[in-house]
Chain A
Amino acid sequence: MSLLADGVTILCVLAGLVFFAAGTVGLLRFPDTASRLHALTKADHLGLGLVVLGLLPQMDSLAGILRLLAFWALVLLASAATGPMIARLLRRQGGIT
């Protein structure tokens, strides 16, 4: 059972790290701010989501599981809100048409 849990953890966290790495590469290499924002928010949403999913089997209490899910939900809310906020600011300055 613990072998299965560890396997799920390793797989999910590694997959999450791939998204973080891809998001970072996108942030550095994409040509304009809108695409960079896209790369960044995907890393936040999916990358952190997979890391949290991977850590769930390692929790030994329901409270820990709920806390992890709450972290993810809060980061999701924050990055889903800040992305459009930066994009709106940019549009007002004429950066995105």
Chain B
Amino acid sequence: MIPALAADGLLAAGILALALGCVATRRAFASAALFIAYGLLLALAWARLDAPDVALTEASIGAGLSGVLLLGGVRRLEGLAEPSPDAETGPLLTILIGIGCAALTVAIGAAVLLLPDPTPSLAPQVAANLATTDLGNPVTAVLMSFRALDTLLESAVVLLAVVCVWALTPEGGWGGVAGLRQPVVRDGPLALLARVLPPLGIVIAIHILWVGADAPGGKFQAAAVLAAMWLMPWMAGLAPAPRIDARWLRLVLAAGPALFILIGLGGALAEGAFLAYPPGWAKPLILAIEIVLTASIAVALALLVMGPPEPPR
């Protein structure tokens, strides 16, 4: 009891310290590095709270992929001129900002303290209806059946993010190869990892996707691993980035959300509700959506890291 409490206390203190350091540090690279460490500790905290699904997602997307995105952003910022220092904030503005932050803290604290006891929960309903989906993992049942609309919108947001990144393409670069050109690395540790890891990583990603039906895992975690397995050879210059006007690329990107919407519409026709699965068909339909969506999200995540095409020099 006491050792567990001490470990959780250390974990919480570490998360707070890293969050503070991440915000307070003045160097962009240090801030990104602290954010990755913060995400990893947060994943540990989720694991301690018996939420392995959230822990896996936090580690793969929150720490891993977001971390790579931030580091890429830091690298791009290095080429830019230092921003001019902002004008000094006056004492009145400082006081107002302080009051605003304090009010927000009090409001969040009050909201947490005023939660009814016992906390309202839909877990019993989920457990009671789990059998209708033929799935063993209640988290997957919530994500793919009971609250499938949220997951559909989530996958659409990832697609939208890719569109936004592509919209930042500089003049003359449209339709070109995504991202900065990576120099070819023929030997050394990066080339070794880029060759050795993808076969292992692809198998692990398929495993994470497949066990998601009955155990912690699923498409977002699998897609993050798959994206990393594409990004590694890309960073070593061994696998070229795709042209963003390639037809196969657009098809793969859109296939997941499109299939999700089509199956949802099919449910509306057959069962009278959008995203309702006909009895007995829930598991095969969910599996089909998960597999196609994994491919779409993996490609989208990799393209987010690669960034917009550069104009030819």
| A residues apposed to B, CB below 8 Å | 74, 77-78, 80-85, 88
Q: Using Cβ atoms and an 8 Å threshold, which residues of chain A touch B200?
A: 74
CA distance A88 to B191 in the complex (A): 13
- Whether a CB of chain A sits under 8 angstroms from the CB of B279 is no
| Chain B residues in 8 Å Cβ range of A83 | 189
Q: Chain A contacts of B197 at CB under 8 A?
A: 77
A interface secondary structure, majority:
helix
Q: Mind listing 15 A-B residue pairs with CB under 8 Å?
A: A74-B200, A77-B193, A77-B196, A77-B197, A78-B193, A81-B190, A81-B192, A81-B193, A83-B189, A84-B188, A84-B189, A85-B188, A85-B189, A85-B190, A88-B188
Starting from the known contacts A78-B193, A81-B193, 9 additional A-B residue pairs (CB-CB under 8 Å) come to: A74-B200, A77-B197, A81-B189, A81-B190, A82-B189, A84-B189, A85-B188, A85-B190, A88-B189
CB distance from B306 to the nearest CB of A (A): 20
Expressed in whole angstroms, the Cα–Cα distance for A82 and B235 within the complex equals: 14
A88 to B193, CA, bound (A): 15
Docked Cα-Cα span, A81 to B193, in Å, equals 7
Q: Which residues of B contact A (CB under 8 A)?
A: 188-190, 192-193, 196-197, 200
Which residues of the other chain, A, contact B192 by a CB distance below 8 angstroms? 81
8 smallest A-B Cβ distances: which pairs? A81-B189, A84-B189, A85-B189, A81-B193, A81-B192, A85-B190, A88-B188, A77-B196
Cα(A82)–Cα(B197), bound, Å: 13
Collect the chain A residues with CB atoms within 8 Å of residue B188's CB.
84-85, 88
Nearest chain-B residue to A82 (Cβ)? Answer: B189
A80–B200 alpha-carbon span in the complex (Å): 17
Most B CB within 10 A of own CB, among A80, A81, A82: A81
Query: Taking CB as reference atom, which chain B residue is nearest A81?
Result: B189
Query: Which residues of chain B are near A85, meaning CB under 8 Å?
Result: 188-190
- Across-interface contacts of A82 in B (CB, < 8 A): 189
Nearest chain B residue, comparing its CB with the CB of A77: B196
Closest chain-B Cβ to A34's Cβ sits at a distance in Å of 15
Which B residue's beta carbon lies closest to that of A73?
B200
Complex CA gap A88/B190 in Å reads 11
CA distance A50 to B110 in the complex (A): 46
Q: Interface centre among B188, B189, B190, B200, by most A CB within 10 Å?
A: B189
How far is it, in angstroms, between the C-alpha of A61 and the C-alpha of B189 when the chains are bound? 34
CA of A52 to CA of B192, assembled, Å: 25
B63 to chain A, nearest CB (A): 14
Q: How far is the CA of A84 from the CA of B196 in the complex (A)?
A: 16
> Chain A residues with Cβ under 8 A from B193's Cβ?
77-78, 81
A85 CA to B191 CA, complexed, in Å: 10
Taken together as a complex, chains A and B put the C-alpha atoms of A84 and B200 apart, in Å, by 22
Question: Which residues of chain B come closer than 8 Å to A74, judged between CB atoms?
Answer: 200
Q: How distant is B43 from chain A, measured CB to nearest CB, in Å?
A: 15
Q: Which residues of B contact A77 (CB under 8 A)?
A: 193, 196-197
B196 contact set on A, CB distance < 8 A: 77
CA distance A82 to B196 in the complex (A): 14
Closest to B197 in A: A77
**A50 → chain B closest CB, angstroms:** 20
Given the complex, which residues of B lie within 8 Å of A81, measured CB to CB? Answer: 189-190, 192-193
**Distance to closest chain B CB from A38 (angstroms):** 15
Report the Cα distance A83→B192, complex, angstroms. 13
- Bound complex: CA of A80 vs CA of B192, how far in Å? 11
> How far, in angstroms, from A54 to B197 measured CA to CA in the complex?
26
